[in-house]
Amino acid sequence: MPLLSDKTYLYTELAQEKGVVLPTPKTEAWKYTRLRDLLNTEYQLCPSTDKTGSLPPFEADVIHIGNGWVVGELPRIEGVSLSFITETMEKTQHPFALMNAAYLTQGLKIEISGKLKRPLLLNYFVVPEDKNYFYHFRNQIICHENSSAEIIEQFTYEGAVKSCYFANIVNEIRIEANAKLHHYKYQNEAFKANHIALHKVAISQSGEYESFCLQKGANIARNETEIALNGEGAEAVVNAAYMMNGWATLDTTTNIYHYVPHTKSSQLIKGVIGGTAHGVFQGRIHIAPNAIQTTGTQLHKAILLSDEAEIDVKPELEIFADDVKCSHGAASGELDKEQLFYMRSRGIGEEEAKQILINAYLTDTITQISDERVREWFKILITG
Amino acid sequence: MSAPILEIEDLCAEVGGKQIIKDFNLTINEGEVHAIMGPNGAGKSTLSYVLCGKSGYKVTSGSVRFKGKDLLSMSTEERAREGIFLIMQYPVEIPGVPSTTFLKHAVNAVRQHQGLPELDTMEFLKMVREEGRKLGIDNEMLKRPINVGFSGGEKKRMEALEMTILKPSFAILDEADSGLDIDAMKVVADSVNALRDNKRAMLIITHFQRLLNYVEPDYVHIFANGHIVKTGDKHLAVELEQNGYAEYVKEN
Ligand SMILES: Nc1ncnc2c1ncn2[C@@H]1O[C@H](COP(=O)(O)OP(=O)(O)OP(=O)(O)O)[C@@H](O)[C@H]1O
Ligand SMILES: [Mg+2]
């Protein structure tokens, strides 16, 4: 059924049409994330736009994606082959990934075969014009043997801050032997918008995936990372920070599968939750029976700025092998009162003192970002 | 005769539901240095927190005027900007905030209150490094998160540096001398003396006479049972060192 551009559709009805079962409050993997506002909204298919979002302060090869459509011609970049996709790479059970495939707006195949000199920026941008648009975008990122690349995804919007548009993003990522991908994401959608993203990453022998995601916007947002460490020596870093206010729901979910020996993963995720917002962190580390001498670490921390702010945390360790190093930790609390008093007793105003503490709290999530310019950019996004 | 800078009248205050300060009276004039000595747990730190408006420290009656203004109605930061500074007995560690960054925020907050422009970063750094050097704080330490992992003595030096840079009109030193080695004590005392002039005043809380040899007080008070039980000059400190507090604590 081709969707008509001037008609609105209830998301649940679109799902029914394709036989996709969307999560209910009883669905285990989604039980903390209140999806009601997202599912019960009538959406209209996003029309393309020529407008583009503003660029971060460093040089990059840019692909503008306006309302879910690539703007203009695909750029020519040495060491990269770009094309539009026609079918998805892998089967999945993920309900929103299924929807993404069923109603794909557009998708890109990004094949990397060299060592890229500049970051590739996917600059997503929505001009909602007071309508509740939805778009489904998908990237197939293939990092061939020995290649290295840096991909940055930025999500912003213009005007009509009250529209409840919905961005559904899927990244299928394959990192071949000895290849390196640094993947950074900045999500700052409109405050009533919805944003669901799935990054499905498979890493071969001695491959490296380094990621960081900063989420600041949207009403309902989920950033989900699923990593399969398939080859010995494969490594993944999954760091994230989030800052939320109002009544937002913001979910960070990670599923990391160590399938073979000598693999390594680390996660540092920190959030600051204000207003009546609701944070969710679900983190699974799975170590398969033969995957000896693997290391998997996970730490989630959250600061609650108000009495009504909430956090749900569900760490899961599934360790079926001996001789592994695995740890997880979670902590949540308020800003330290003694620290606030100390700062105020030196003349620093209460709000400024809180901001300084929040910045200090979040900045260690970005210290692992290899690219200094990107690190600085995130630092400004966190403090600004 | 110089004007009063701090006037405490019939002050009563409690912390954790327990009355610690009872009918406390003290007037400090511009240019004066007062010392308070008293047994552990008497309420000396409590008094200094009350003067800084720390939450949890509840004034139940009485009044405090600072340069003629009602101090108790001001927030902690307003008091600091008006010129009150407390060297804390236990300075607080703040991970992730470099000492210089912290100092810069503090200086600019106070300057803004005084209607002065923000300090130029280069100028500021130069000043901090120079004052730091006098207090035995090197550039490496200035880059570290404030107080994090500092030794007891290093923390007190950092407190003295903050004081030197903020130039308060009224400084409370709550055991500024604890944890300091003999040389550091002199260095910190020098920074206190450098600040001393006929407009500024100080309240020095200490257990030992030694600091008072370097920073000579105009008055020495004994604090027990929630208020001042005896006032004398510097010789009172010498006497206390010999006889202890037994005589004064018995009072009621
Ligand atoms: N939050 C609190 N709850 C209950 N009691 C408290 C609290 N804070 C302080 N106190 C008590 O108040 C009393 C005064 O404490 P304070 O720290 O002011 O004493 P001090 O004179 O500074 O002692 P020291 O010489 O040991 O530094 C002590 O008995 C202390 O245990
Ligand atoms: Mg004390």
Q: How far is Cα A1 from Cα A33, in angstroms, rounded to an integer?
A: 30
Mutate to test the interface with A, among B97, B103, B161 (most CBs of A within 10 A): B97
Ligand 1 center from residue B16 Cα (angstroms): 10
Q: How far is Cα A93 from Cα A232, in angstroms, rounded to an integer?
A: 27
Q: Say whether B80 and A339 touch across the interface (CB within 8 A).
A: no
Atom of ligand 1 nearest to the CA of B46: 18
Neighbours of B203 (CB within 10 A): 25
- B92: tokens are 């607080």
A221 closest CA partner among A185, A248, A183:
A248
Q: How far is B244 from chain A (nearest CA, A)?
A: 32
C-alpha to C-alpha distances, A123 to A140, A167, A186, nearest whole angstrom? 16, 13, 10
The sign of the CA dihedral B125, B126, B129, B131 is negative
Neighbours of A179 (CB within 10 A): 25
Architecture label for domain B4-251: 3-Layer(aba) Sandwich (3.40)
pLDDT tens digits for B185-244? Answer: 999 999 999 999 999 999 999 999 999 999 999 999 999 999 999 999 999 999 998 888
Atom of ligand 1 nearest to the CA of B207: 25
Q: Say whether A344 and B77 touch across the interface (CB within 8 A).
A: yes
Task: Establish whether residue B110 lines the binding site of ligand 1, counting it when its CB lies within 6 angstroms of any ligand atom.
Answer: no
Q: Say whether A342 and B88 touch across the interface (CB within 8 A).
A: yes
- Cβ atoms of residues A153 and A215 within 8 Å: no
Give the A window 361-380 contacts with B, CB below 8 Å.
361, 363-364
Q: Say whether A348 and B52 touch across the interface (CB within 8 A).
A: no
Of A348, A352, A363, the CB nearest to B96: A363
Q: What is the pLDDT of residue A88?
A: 74
Mutate to test the interface with B, among A270, A338, A345 (most CBs of B within 10 A): A345
Residue of B24, B46, B175, B225 best suited for mutating to test ligand 1, as the one with most atoms within 8 Å of CB: B46
For A224, phi then psi, to 5°, come to -115, 130
Instruction: State the residue range of the domain holding A264.
Output: 8-334
Q: How far is Cα A337 from Cα A354, in angstroms, rounded to an integer?
A: 10
Strand A310-319 relative to strand A194-203, pairing? unpaired
Task: Establish whether residue B242 lines the binding site of ligand 1, counting it when its CB lies within 6 angstroms of any ligand atom.
Answer: no
A89 closest CA partner among A284, A238, A228:
A228
Protein residues with C-beta less than 5 angstroms from the ion ligand 2 = B 44-45, 89
pLDDT grade for B1, boundaries at 50, 70 and 90: low
Predicted TM-score (pTM) of the model is 0.89
Of B54, B77, B88, the CB nearest to A348: B77
A356 within some domain: no
Task: Establish whether residue B41 lines the binding site of ligand 1, counting it when its CB lies within 6 angstroms of any ligand atom.
Answer: yes
Listing from the earlier edge strand, what are the strands of the sheet with B84-87?
B84-87, B170-174, B201-205, B33-37, B219-224, B227-232
Within 13 Å, how many C-alpha atoms sit on residue A90's CB side? 19
Of B45 and A7, the structure prediction assigns the larger pLDDT to B45
Whether B51 has a pLDDT exceeding 80, the answer reads yes
As beta bridge partners, residue A170 has A138, A198
A384 within some domain: no
Neighbours of A75 (CB within 10 A): 12
Is the backbone of residue B10 left (phi > 0), alpha (psi -120 to 50) or beta? left
- B187: tokens are 């260095």
Task: Establish whether residue B117 lines the binding site of ligand 1, counting it when its CB lies within 6 angstroms of any ligand atom.
Answer: no
From first to last of its 384 residues, what are the pLDDT tens digits of chain A?
567 778 899 999 999 999 999 999 899 999 999 899 899 899 998 889 988 999 999 999 999 999 999 999 999 999 999 999 977 767 788 999 999 999 999 999 999 999 999 999 999 999 988 889 999 999 999 999 999 999 999 999 998 777 899 999 999 999 999 999 999 999 999 999 999 999 999 999 999 999 999 999 999 999 999 999 999 999 999 999 999 988 899 999 999 999 999 999 999 999 999 999 999 999 999 999 999 999 999 999 999 999 999 999 999 999 999 999 999 999 999 999 999 999 999 999 999 999 999 999 999 999 999 999 999 999 999 987
- Residues A93-116 as b or e (16 or more Cβ within 10 Å = b): ebbbbbbbbebbbebbbbbbbeeb
Put simply, whether B211 touches A (Cβ < 8 Å) is no
A110 closest CA partner among A138, A136, A90:
A138
A212 closest CA partner among A257, A172, A170, A267:
A267
Of A348, A350, A360, the CB nearest to B95: A360
- A231: tokens are 């080859």
Ligand 2 center from residue B50 Cα (angstroms): 12
Q: How far is Cα A294 from Cα A235, in angstroms, rounded to an integer?
A: 10
Put simply, whether A344 touches B (Cβ < 8 Å) is yes
Alpha carbon nearest to ligand 1 atom 28, residue? B41
Strand A80-84 relative to strand A106-112, pairing? antiparallel
- A258: tokens are 């160590």
Q: How far is Cα B12 from Cα B50, in angstroms, rounded to an integer?
A: 10
Cα distance between the two ends of chain B: 35
Q: What is the pLDDT of residue B252?
A: 47
Q: What is the pLDDT of residue A166?
A: 96
C-alpha to C-alpha distances, A256 to A204, A229, A265, A333, nearest whole angstrom? 14, 8, 8, 26
Strand B57-66 relative to strand B69-70, pairing? antiparallel
Of B86, B92, B113, the CB nearest to A338: B92
Q: What is the pLDDT of residue B250?
A: 62
Q: How far is Cα A175 from Cα A203, in angstroms, rounded to an integer?
A: 5
- State which H helix or E strand residue A108 sits in: strand A106-112
Question: What domain count does chain A have?
Answer: 1
Residue of B12, B14, B18 best suited for mutating to test ligand 1, as the one with most atoms within 8 Å of CB: B18
In terms of CA atoms, which chain B residue is nearest residue A365? B96
For B214, phi then psi, to 5°, come to -90, -40
SS (H, E, C) chain B: CCCEEEEEEEEEEEECCEEEEEEEEEEEECCCEEEEECCCCCCHHHHHHHHHCCCCEEEEEEEEEECCEEHHHCCHHHHHHHCEEEECCCCCCCCCCEHHHHHHHHHHHHHHHCCCCCCCHHHHHHHHHHHHHHCCCCHHHHHCECCCCCCHHHHHHHHHHHHHHHCCCEEEEECCCCCCCHHHHHHHHHHHHHHCCCCCEEEEECCCHHHHHHCCCCEEEEEECCEEEEEECHHHHHHHHHHCCHHHHCCC
Ligand 2 center from residue B43 Cα (angstroms): 7
Pairs of CB atoms within 8 A across A/B: 72
Q: What is the pLDDT of residue A18?
A: 93
- Residues A139-174 as b or e (16 or more Cβ within 10 Å = b): bbbbbbeebbbbbbbbbbbbebeebbbbbbbbbbbb
Residue B242 neighbours by CB under 8 Å, 6+ apart: none
Ligand 1 center from residue B40 Cα (angstroms): 8
- A130: tokens are 């007071």
Q: How far is B5 from chain A (nearest CA, A)?
A: 18
Please list every residue in chain A whose beta carbon sits closer than 8 Å to the beta carbon of residue B113: 347
Give the B window 120-149 contacts with A, CB below 8 Å.
145
Task: Establish whether residue B17 lines the binding site of ligand 1, counting it when its CB lies within 6 angstroms of any ligand atom.
Answer: no
- Cβ atoms of residues B251 and B229 within 8 Å: yes
Cα distance between the two ends of chain A: 45
Task: Establish whether residue B43 lines the binding site of ligand 1, counting it when its CB lies within 6 angstroms of any ligand atom.
Answer: yes
Q: How far is B58 from chain A (nearest CA, A)?
A: 15
Q: Where are the domains of chain B?
A: 4-251
Task: Establish whether residue B45 lines the binding site of ligand 1, counting it when its CB lies within 6 angstroms of any ligand atom.
Answer: yes
A156 within some domain: yes
